[in-house]
Amino acid sequence: MPRSWAELLGEADAPSEAEEEGGRFFSRLRDSLSKSRRALTGELAAAAAFDPGNEADWERLEEALIAGDVGVQATAELVRRLEARGELPDLNAALADEVTQLFGEPPVLDVAHEPAVILVVGVNGTGKTTTIGKLAARLAEHGRSVVVAAADTYRAAAEEQLEIWAQRAGADFVGSERGGDPAAVAYDAVEAAAARGRDVVVVDTAGRLHTQTNLMEELTKVRRVLAGRLEGAPHETLLVVDATTGQNGLQQARLFGEAVGVTGVVLTKLDGSAKGGVAIPIAYELGLPVKLVGVGEALEDLQPFDPRDYARALVAG
């Protein structure tokens, strides 16, 4: 059963909504997966063909995982856990189990505050602004009013870009002039939300490499200002990670985590051929869950993370 938005938002909602969402989700994912072509792992899709006694079969599994950017260490760990199971009548199911366990409890997006504040961070080009547009739209669908804050005051036309998404999603927009103080924009947005009685504030930040200490400090400041203005804020800090990213994704998660305390990962561009395997070492070594996945450039292309579907795609064709 794929996760629904209702479940992600912690709503005790009717299963009918979940089913409806599930249907839409499946067709979306199926479309995405059909775009991929994976010759190597196609062999593994025939789960019955996997023989735990055959060294070559294990090797191919390892290669499939490494090819998915799971990384050497996490691959070894997964293989260890699979081996420990002994019999493997259905490899896909077993892998899905292990991956699900690795990711831990199904996460929740914490929007139960007045207002709830979501800070969105990540390196350049991962899809933060697009994700925010999609998220705002989804929240609106679930009865939340949203303010988006254009705290990317650095990049050319970043504000204009977010403003277009805000319009598409029907969200309020708060920005400032280019080169302004991102922390000030974040602050203003929370003020505006409080004044207007909006439910959620989503703060967009400039892409930055985790190796740029001054920019990471700037981000820490944004967080501090949010916390100062509203106790407990930001309630969620989402790190947006591109699914094509290799092992550097782990380092990104580590350093962003140290700087601002990440509560969850958004894995984007999963509609490509990349599997986003780096989410596994991120979960395994840092205990960070994936909360959302991006599967396209359209407004509706954002889904709650489902570890079973993710695991299946990892070794499927």
Partner 1 sequence: MFDALTEKLQSALGDLRGRGVLDDEAISRAMREIRLALLEADVNFGVVKDFVAHVRERALGEDVRKSLTPGQQVVKIVHEELTELLGSSDSRLAFSQRPPTTILLAGLQGSGKTTAAGKLALLLEKEGRKPALVAADLQRPAAIDQLVQLGEQVGVPVYAEERSDPVKAVHDGIEQAKAEGRDVVILDTAGRLHVDEELMDELAAVRREAKPTNVLLVLDAMTGQEAVNVAQAFQERIDFDGVVLTKLDGDARGGAALSVRAVTGRPIKLASNGEKLDAIDWFHPDRMASRILGMGDVLTLIERAEAAIEEDEKEELERRMMKGEFSFDDFLSSYKMIRRMGPLQGVLKMIPGLGNQLEGLDQVDENQLKRVEAVILSMTPHERRVPHVIDASRRKRIAAGSGTTVEHVNQLIEARKQMAKMMKAVGSGKMPQIPGAGVPGAALPTQGPPRPSATRKSKSKRKRKARR
Q: Is 68 among the residues that bind partner 1 (CB under 8 A)? A: yes
Hey, what's the torsion of the CAs at 176, 178, 182, 188, to 10 degrees? 0
CA-closest candidate to residue 78, choices 246, 237, 240, 281? 281
Among 221, 251, 285, 286, binds partner 1 (CB under 8 A): 251
Q: Is 281 among the residues that bind partner 1 (CB under 8 A)? A: no
Residue that the structure tokens 């933060």 belong to = 128
Tell me which residues in 204-223 interact with partner 1 (CB under 8 A): 209-212
Q: Is 269 among the residues that bind partner 1 (CB under 8 A)? A: yes
Select 100 or 161, whichever has its Cβ closest to partner 1: 161
201 - beta bridge partners? 117, 147
Select 209 or 227, whichever has its Cβ closest to partner 1: 209
Select 139 or 169, whichever has its Cβ closest to partner 1: 169
Select 176 or 251, whichever has its Cβ closest to partner 1: 251
Count of residues of this chain found to bind partner 1 when the rule CB under 8 A is applied: 45
Select 156 or 195, whichever has its Cβ closest to partner 1: 156
Among 266, 278, 280, 290, binds partner 1 (CB under 8 A): 278
Among 1, 46, 112, 157, binds partner 1 (CB under 8 A): 157
Tell me which residues in 124-153 interact with partner 1 (CB under 8 A): 124-127
Residues 296-315 vs partner 1: string with x where CB under 8 A?
-x------------------
CB of 62 to partner 1, least distance (A): 9
CB of 42 to partner 1, least distance (A): 14
Instruction: Compute the distance between CA of residue 143 and CA of residue 253 in angstroms, rounded to an integer.
Output: 31
Q: CA 266 from chain center: how many Å?
A: 1
Contact window for partner 1 (CB under 8 A) among 41-49, 187-195, 226-234, 248-256: 248-256
Buried b (16+ CB within 10 A) or exposed e, 106-125: ebbbbbebebbbbbbbbbee
Contacts 24+ apart (CB under 8 A), 174-177: 174/147, 174/148, 174/149, 174/150, 175/149, 175/150, 176/150, 177/153
Angle at which helix 91-103 crosses helix 72-84, to 10 degrees, equals 120
Select 101 or 213, whichever has its Cβ closest to partner 1: 213
Among 131, 237, 245, 303, binds partner 1 (CB under 8 A): 245
DSSP letters for 8-52:
HTT----HHHHHHHHHHHHHHHHHHHHT---HHHHHHHSGGG--T
Contact window for partner 1 (CB under 8 A) among 13-21, 62-70, 105-113, 169-177: 62-70
CB 191 within 8 A of CB 180: no
Among 182, 234, 257, 277, binds partner 1 (CB under 8 A): 277
Six token digits for residue 147: 């303010």
Instruction: Compute the distance between CA of residue 3 and CA of residue 293 in angstroms, rounded to an integer.
Output: 11
Contact window for partner 1 (CB under 8 A) among 49-57, 120-128, 186-194, 221-229: 120-128
177: how many CB neighbours lie within 10 A of its CB?
A: 8
Residues in the site for partner 1, rule: CB under 8 A? Answer: 35-37, 63, 66-69, 71-72, 123-127, 154-158, 160-161, 163-165, 209-212, 242, 244-249, 251, 269, 271-274, 277-278, 297
